[in-house]
Structure 1
Amino acid sequence: EARQRKHTVLIKKRALKLGPIPVHFSLGTVLLSCLPRTHSAVLTPSAFQKEMSLTTRKRLVSKKKLNLPQIVQPQDKPETSHHKFSAVYPDHRSLQPFPPEVVFQNYTPGEVYEMPVVLRNRDKVPQQVKVTWESSPYFQLVGPSGMCHKVPPGLSITIHILFTPWQNKDYFHQLLCITEREEFIVPICAVGARAVLDFPDLLDFSECPVKYSSEKTLLVHNLGNRTARYHLSTQSPFSVTPEVGTLGVGDVVQVTVGFQPLQSGDHSASLVVHYDTGENTHTSLHGTAVDVHIRLDRDTVTVGKTYITMSNHTTVRIHNLSGITARFQWKAFDTQEEEDQQYHRLCRQEKDKLSDFLKERRVDTTHREHSALLTRTIQRERARLQGDPMLFNNDIFSLEPKEGEIRPNCSAEINVFFKPQAARVYEQAVYCDISGRETRLPLLLIGEGLGPQLHFSFEELDIGEVFVRAAHSYEAILLNNGPIEAPFRLAPPATAMSSCFAFLPQEGIVAPGRLQAIQISFCPTILGEFKEEFWFHVTESPKPVTLTIRGFVMGLTFHFDVPALHFGDVSFGFPRTLRCSLSNTSLAPMAFNLCIPEDGLGEASICSSLQIFKTTRQSWRKGAQGFMKPREFHISPCRGTIRSLGSQDIEVTLCSNTVREYRLELVVDVDGVGEKVLALTLTARYQRFSCSCSSFLAPPELMAHWDCYRNPCKCPWAKKGQSC
């Protein structure tokens, strides 16, 4: 560093005299250019070892490429020279030094070494060259510094440099040459002690299984004369351990180079040895990744039918017919790319959950402490996800073991467990990520879950012909033939007819191997043929248990014991009663209602007994007729219920208050069946009273006399000499 500072001061002084220095000039480049290919792109270990073994003279002889020196400052020739013509182009050097850089190597401290530098004039005119030299305790210039030499065209001059090292280390100096056209520097350096590690130039792994770590171990010697402090680096799929080390002169270290390709095909990279002295050597690494003979014994595994809440299992085998120990893992994703996408998706979800949680707690994430806490939490969660191998994990299917190793020419038995949660068919794809195979081996898992095996002892119940409003009872048996409990529940009725059925119990649990009696009650209210399907939902079963009930609902059958009621001739105000019987021939009770639609709607008709003392026609007519047609019929009872296969006596009384012929109907209304479902004919004829002796109609006043009604021969008219 002290020497570089001195050279920097020197160049600054030259710049004050000669003008600005070009921006491409670099003191470090000038001083370090003579080192053994420090920045070379490719320097093999053997080439570096050979180069470090050369003496100064052998190195000079082996120099094949002649590099031109770097111009420090160009000169304006018309102002500094009387020669107007030149053989070289303005951007070319007129003076060629050889060697372009002076390198002393493999020297012994205390001895003196000499190196000649030849300056040849490439121009067609003489060149005046001035050689300047800064004093140094290690380097000396033979002849006075600053001497000017005139070099004829095509000829050269020789300058001798002496080097006296004190230690076996690196030394740097420079020779400044000034001509009429340019000013350039000849770097001078001495390469001190170097560590030389005997890595091979090429390390070929040949064919290796893909996704398998192949290793080669190297015994590396330090052939140099200095302790090696080095750093090793390479690129994927190659690796090296240890990456950093220190090795004394003549010592040996063991270095392991690994090759673990993730894709089949050819792979190559460089193993770079970085020395602390600045040199880098490159060892070419080559390898070919291939698939080896590793396979599953089948690509589809079907587990037997399994009841829910229970488990079943089968096996699948992995056959390793190769010569490597294969490590396998069961994964849920087909490729590593899908797995990486899932990892990033989980990271985003965890970050969003944490952010939402902080927002709910109204935490200010812009605050420095809260922001740092959020960042640390996210980093911890990300580290946890990175450490997760993302093995296959499923509640329905599981594999044991999920990961492991298979020795060469051996097989591994994998247990596949199936535990269904619903009665359906399950399909799940899993992938075996195994050493020796580039792509993951797919395996399709198939299993069918079975629900409770519940069914009725019969699928259809035909109840035949039943009467409306009649209550019927039936029994159905639910059987559980499965090994698990069967919880059931009746679905609500969906039709009007199905609502006429009642089931008891409507829900329950049938134990394995047991039965449950279901009581069915049916009271129909709708006539006609029916077919109803009832569903009993069974927990964890895809299909309900069905029971079909069919039948025909008939109306009630009933009749009167007489075809009609004939009252015959009736007199005004004299009631007459006839009797009949209404029989219910059905098996259901019948609620009836009797009425005569054509009867009057006014007050009840007036019986003659109520008018026995009334003799005026006006009072009779007013009391009997009123303002609305009277009700002349009375039915007892007019409503009621007849039990099944029973009968009811009916009395119908006619008290005529109108002069007419009667032909009416007694109609029967049945609750739940209809109105006017049956009719009984009623007939009558009004007849006035008369005296047989005189053969004329008796006046209406006569009808008011009870004695005449009871005994017509004793009526007042007969006492007057008239026959009754």
Structure 2
Amino acid sequence: RRASAMGGPAAAGAGAVGQNFLFEDEVFTIDPLQGTIPAKGTREFTITFNPQLATSYFSTAYLDIQGMHDRLPLAIKGAGLGPQCGLSFDSLDLGDIFINSVHQYEVVLENRGSIEAKYALMPQQTLFGPKFKFSPQSGTIAAGSTQTLSISFCSDIIGIVSETFKIHVQGSRDELELHFKGRVIGPTFHFDVEEIDYGNVSYNFWHNKTFHLINTSEIPMRFHLRVPEDGQHARKEFDVIPATGSILPHGKQKIQVDFLSNTVQEYNAHLVVDIDEVGDNLDSLPIKATCIVPDIVVSRDALDFGHCFVGYPYSLDVELRN
């Protein structure tokens, strides 16, 4: 008899019925779709399953036999298995990272399945996302093979890092996730003195103090030193040498602060530190001083020259005692 494999309204899945009503489906194919079976003969059909996603598929084909009123249904189902991939780790704690420092990491992408896997890194347009660089960002991994992904991170901003990158594997239902957490910090530093104390200073006399600014971090730091309270009077009274500069990692810079007081008063000022690309007023060093005017005593209350001849010079001594 003549038989044909046909689709029908009961077909589930992606089965589509063509104009000649022969069976059509996106993932299942039947060969042959029509033909003749001799009396008491048999015919073998080949059904091919080509899943596109890792999910379950179901469809129904109907065998239409010439001369028979009812068609014979054939349920076809299958489960698509996508590439079986995994990462050597899915979370990494970066810890504290200095600003503008470059850090390198590696993660291994493994194809644990029996078919090749095509992968691609999904874009991450967040605050710290663009600071991560992956290489390669896409590729194909043969069955049973691995691919090492090199990751570099360098941030020019300070803050808390919490980024989750997704890797899409073609044919897989779920995406692989790789999470990074940490904190980007500025350079660490300190002074080797607790304060700058000039004690009692004389009015309009220069005084100076020296100390060191020490960089305890792994990166160079560019600093600016200033005294915000300076210049409130007629002229500036503090001179910082140097007021700006760079310190290499684990290096130190000698600082000298010259002070010329022009006001009789108690001084309570601060030497503050600004760091380029990090922030202002990140640390301060107290400055203390007391400007006084010395008490001067004259040895005589009055000078009495008595009777003097005209045209002759006379002199008397007087002492000023501090």
Shorter-chain TM-score: what band?
A: 0.7 to 0.9
From the superposition, tell whether residues 426 and 596 of structure 1 become closer, same or farther in structure 2 (CA, over 3 Å). same
How far, CA to CA, are the matches of 1:537 and 1:580 in structure 2? 56
From the superposition, tell whether residues 477 and 692 of structure 1 become closer, same or farther in structure 2 (CA, over 3 Å). farther
5 Å-filtered alignment, 1:64-463, equals: 326-334=1-9, 389-408=20-39, 410-435=41-66, 437-463=68-94
Q: 2:117 aligns with which of 470, 481, 486?
A: 486
How far, CA to CA, are the matches of 1:695 and 1:433 in structure 2? 141
- Contact 1:469–1:523 at 8 Å: present in 2 too? yes
Structure with bigger strand share is: 2
Higher mean displacement: 632-641 or 482-491 = 482-491
- Contact 2:300–2:318 at 8 Å: present in 1 too? no
How far, CA to CA, are the matches of 1:328 and 1:560 in structure 2? 94
- Contact 1:570–1:576 at 8 Å: present in 2 too? yes
How far, CA to CA, are the matches of 1:462 and 1:596 in structure 2? 39
Q: 2:282 aligns with which of 663, 677, 694?
A: 677
> CA offset at residue 480 of structure 1?
2.8
> CA offset at residue 439 of structure 1?
2.1
How far, CA to CA, are the matches of 1:572 and 1:459 in structure 2? 67
Q: 1:499 aligns with which of 130, 144, 148?
A: 130
How far, CA to CA, are the matches of 2:244 and 2:141 in structure 1? 48
Residues 329-362 of structure 1: CA deviation (Å, up to 9, x unaligned): 1012359xxxxxx78xx6xxxxxxxxxxxxxxxx
How far, CA to CA, are the matches of 1:538 and 1:694 in structure 2? 100
How far, CA to CA, are the matches of 1:694 and 1:443 in structure 2? 130
> CA offset at residue 449 of structure 1?
3.4
5 Å-filtered alignment, 1:523-534, equals: 523-524=154-155, 525-528=157-160, 530-534=161-165
Residues 478-513 of structure 1: CA deviation (Å, up to 9, x unaligned): 223345543333222243233332323333343444
Aligned length: 300
Long gaps (5+) in structure 2:
11-16, 302-314
How far, CA to CA, are the matches of 1:461 and 1:472 in structure 2? 13
Who is 2:305 aligned against?
A: none
How far, CA to CA, are the matches of 1:546 and 1:695 in structure 2? 93
Who is 2:14 aligned against?
A: none
Asked which structure has the greater CA Rg, the reply is 1
Who is 1:270 aligned against?
A: none
Instruction: State yes or no: 1:651 paired with 2:256.
Output: yes
> CA offset at residue 636 of structure 1?
2.2
How far, CA to CA, are the matches of 1:496 and 1:443 in structure 2? 55
Who is 1:633 aligned against?
A: 238
> CA offset at residue 427 of structure 1?
2.6
The secondary structure found in structure 2 opposite 1:413 is: coil
Q: Give the letter aligned to residue 440 of structure 1.
A: R
5 Å-filtered alignment, 1:645-724, equals: 645-688=250-293, 694=299, 721-724=317-320
Structure with bigger helix share is: 1
The secondary structure found in structure 2 opposite 1:499 is: helix
5 Å-filtered alignment, 1:485-564, equals: 485-524=116-155, 525-528=157-160, 530-553=161-184, 556-564=187-195
How far, CA to CA, are the matches of 1:502 and 1:659 in structure 2? 60
Who is 1:587 aligned against?
A: 218
Long gaps (5+) in structure 1:
1-325, 336-341, 347-388, 602-627, 697-718
From the superposition, tell whether residues 672 and 448 of structure 1 become closer, same or farther in structure 2 (CA, over 3 Å). farther
TM-score normalised to the size of structure 2? Answer: 0.78
From the superposition, tell whether residues 599 and 449 of structure 1 become closer, same or farther in structure 2 (CA, over 3 Å). same
How far, CA to CA, are the matches of 1:523 and 1:686 in structure 2? 50
How far, CA to CA, are the matches of 2:317 and 2:249 in structure 1? 64
Provide the alpha-carbon RMSD of the alignment: 3.1
- Contact 2:158–2:183 at 8 Å: present in 1 too? no
> CA offset at residue 422 of structure 1?
4.1
Higher relative contact order (CA 8 A, sep 6+): 2
The secondary structure found in structure 1 opposite 2:130 is: helix
Q: Give the letter aligned to residue 70 of structure 2.
A: T
TM-score normalised to the size of structure 1? Answer: 0.38
Who is 2:312 aligned against?
A: none
Who is 2:102 aligned against?
A: 471
